[in-house]
């Protein structure tokens, strides 16, 4: 079974600065998807960014980018020019491409990000 580990339960960043959230995972599969979801106090899980394991290029979405190191099984999220609205819980998630009855997501425990004005 796959596992996802987020080793930073809480982090903080000054507004306009850059912060990196860490995620490692364990799998024996060669093809899979990785995601970062954001969950603000409203509870709505919002997709931040997605990475396909077969792609060598790191995914980027505006101020959000990832550092995907497949051999190291590492998938960190970098948030540039942090804004107050970035304050939320961030979850790293893994999804297999192999059919096992479903394509359920396996989540890490989350990192709570605070943004300091």
Partner 1 sequence: GAGVSQSPSNKVTEKGKDVELRCDPISGHTALYWYRQSLGQGLEFLIYFQGNSAPDKSGLPSDRFSAERTGGSVSTLTIQRTQQEDSAVYLCASSSWLFGAQETQYFGPGTRLLVL
Token couple for 20: 């990196």
Q: Whose Cβ is closer to partner 1: residue 11's or residue 45's? A: 45
Token couple for 29: 């599969």
Torsion of CA 7, 113, 62, 71, to 10 degrees: 0
Ranges within 46-105 binding partner 1 (CB under 8 A): 46-47, 50, 91, 97, 100-105
The rounded distance, in Å, linking the Cα atoms of 54 and 65 is: 17
Considering the rule CB under 8 A, would residue 25 count as an interface residue with partner 1?
A: no
Cβ 108 to partner 1 shortest distance, Å: 8
Report the interface residues with partner 1, using CB under 8 A. Answer: 35, 37, 42-47, 50, 91, 97, 100-110
């Amino acid at each position: 079974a796959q596992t996802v580990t987020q080793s930073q339960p809480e982090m903080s960043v000054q507004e306009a600065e850059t912060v990196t959230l860490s995620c490692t995972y364990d799998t024996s599969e060669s093809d899979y998807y990785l995601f970062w979801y954001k969950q603000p106090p409203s509870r709505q899980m919002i997709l931040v960014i997605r990475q396909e394991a077969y792609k060598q290029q790191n995914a980027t979405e505006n101020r959000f980018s990832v550092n995907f190191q497949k051999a190291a099984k590492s998938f960190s999220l970098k948030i540039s020019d942090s804004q107050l609205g970035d304050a939320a819980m961030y979850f790293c998630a893994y999804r297999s491409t192999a059919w096992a009855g479903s394509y359920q997501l396996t989540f890490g425990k989350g990192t709570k990000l605070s943004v300091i004005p």
